[in-house]
Amino acid sequence: MAATLIDGKAFAAKVRGQVAEHVARLKEEHGITPGLAVVLVGEDPASQVYVRSKGKSTVEVGMNSYEHKLDAETSEADLLALIGKLNSDPAVNGILVQLPLPKHMNEELVINSIAPEKDVDGFHISNVGLLGTGQKSMVPCTPLGCLMMLRDHHGSLSGMDAVVIGRSNIVGKPMAQLLLGDSCTVTIAHSRTKDLPEVVRRADIVVAAVGRPEMVPGDWIKEGATVIDVGINRIERGGKNVLVGDVDFASAAERAGAITPVPGGVGPMTIACLLANTVTAACRAHNLAEPEGLTA
């Protein structure tokens, strides 16, 4: 392997350490313990795993974790009522409603009912608008984690050619906004992009957020490029269930300058950034100085 491995697991541990320090200071100096509420509707096994791991990390950094598990048949009105209660609860600084929601719910309506200042996912329309106009906002966790790793590796990203594959509201679009904010020349590719291999070959930075196992082969990667693999795909290989990204790691690592693995790359950073956003939200709620280096 020629590429440098960007160790998201180790980076995430460092971020969680910084969050823990800031939480300890908030407690000592101001008697404040930040709180994160996570709402899960239904019994999707993958979602249950994430929610448990989020709760565990929240407690480990010294914050309060409030888990709300609702069954799949819960009405939208009941979910909105719960969000209303969390919005007005001063002990709750961050609210995350795990996606996807059951089919009978209007995801946009639900997300936009979260108080924007508690929207630690950064999905509320106000936060989307603030990010798009370069104003202070809550920044979506996955793109924020990717940005932190890129800045750490490169220092400045100014003038670099970046290609984001995927245009979802939760990953692709906010990722592109953040890269633009750091003065990259940004291309957003998607399922209708003509000649994706050629588009990717131009890139100094490739962020793959598609949800198709190992779809980006090494020969699309420009020699020395930095590859950030957001994909989390569970596939069967050799009779075993394994986790792979959207990038074919083995062949891409031959050409890339640096690359994130799956697992152990973007995933752990997503959770660390969720904690970072929660402590940031708590500081803003109390008009206190925000932790440095934990926001975009």
Ligand X SMILES: Nc1nc(=O)c2c([nH]1)NC[C@@H]1CN(c3ccc(C(=O)N[C@@H](CCC(=O)O)C(=O)O)cc3)C=[N+]21
Binding string, residues 265-284; x marks residues near ligand X by CB under 6 A: --xx-xx-------------
Q: Does 243 contact ligand X by CB under 6 A? A: yes
Q: Does 262 contact ligand X by CB under 6 A? A: yes
Q: Does 145 contact ligand X by CB under 6 A? A: no
Three-class DSSP category at 41: strand
User: Is 145 a known ligand-binding residue?
Assistant: no
Q: Does 137 contact ligand X by CB under 6 A? A: no
Q: Does 98 contact ligand X by CB under 6 A? A: yes
Residue 55's nearest CA partner among 72, 74, 68 is: 68
Contact 216, 200 (CB under 8 A): yes
Contact 43, 101 (CB under 8 A): no
Number of H helices, E strands in the chain: 10, 11
Q: Does 260 contact ligand X by CB under 6 A? A: no
| Candidate list 73, 135, 191, 223; residue touching ligand NDP; CB under 6 A | 191
* Residues contacting 123, CB < 8 A, separation 6+: 111, 140, 169, 170
Q: Of 98 and 196, which has the nearer Cβ to ligand X?
A: 98
Q: Of 32 and 163, which has the nearer Cβ to ligand NDP?
A: 163
| Candidate list 210, 221, 256, 294; residue touching ligand NDP; CB under 6 A | 210
Number of residues that this document lists for the chain: 296
119, 121, 182, 204: the catalytic one is 121
Rounded (10°) angle between helices 45-60 and 8-30: 50
Instruction: Find which of ligand NDP, ligand X, none residue 258 binds, CB within 5 to 8 Å per kind.
Output: none
Q: What is the smallest separation between the CB atom of 288 and ligand NDP, expressed in angstroms?
A: 28
Contact 83, 115 (CB under 8 A): no
Q: How far apart are CA 95 and CA 26, in angstroms?
A: 19
User: Per-residue b/e over 203-212, b at no fewer than 16 CB within 10 Å?
Assistant: bbbbbbbbee
User: Is 181 a known ligand-binding residue?
Assistant: no
Total residues contacting ligand X (rule CB under 6 A)?
17
Q: How far apart are CA 265 and CA 8, in angstroms?
A: 4
Where in 181-240 is the site for ligand X (CB under 6 A)? Answer: 232
Q: Does 99 contact ligand X by CB under 6 A? A: yes
Where in 37-56 is the site for ligand X (CB under 6 A)? Answer: 49-50
Q: DSSP label at 63?
A: -
| Candidate list 105, 209, 253, 275; residue touching ligand NDP; CB under 6 A | 209
Residue 241 in tokens: 């269930």
Where in 165-184 is the site for ligand NDP (CB under 6 A)? Answer: 165-168, 170-172
Q: How far apart are CA 269 and CA 259, in angstroms?
A: 14
- Calculate the CA 144 to chain-centre distance: 6
Q: Does 121 qualify as catalytic in the annotation?
A: yes
Residue with tokens 């202070």: 136
User: Is 75 a known ligand-binding residue?
Assistant: no
User: Is 232 a known ligand-binding residue?
Assistant: yes
Binding residue ranges? 166-168, 232
- Which residues are the active-site residues? 54, 98, 121
Binding residue ranges for NADP(+)? 166-168, 232
Give the footprint of ligand X on this chain (CB under 6 A): 49-50, 96-99, 121, 141, 232, 243, 262-264, 267-268, 270-271
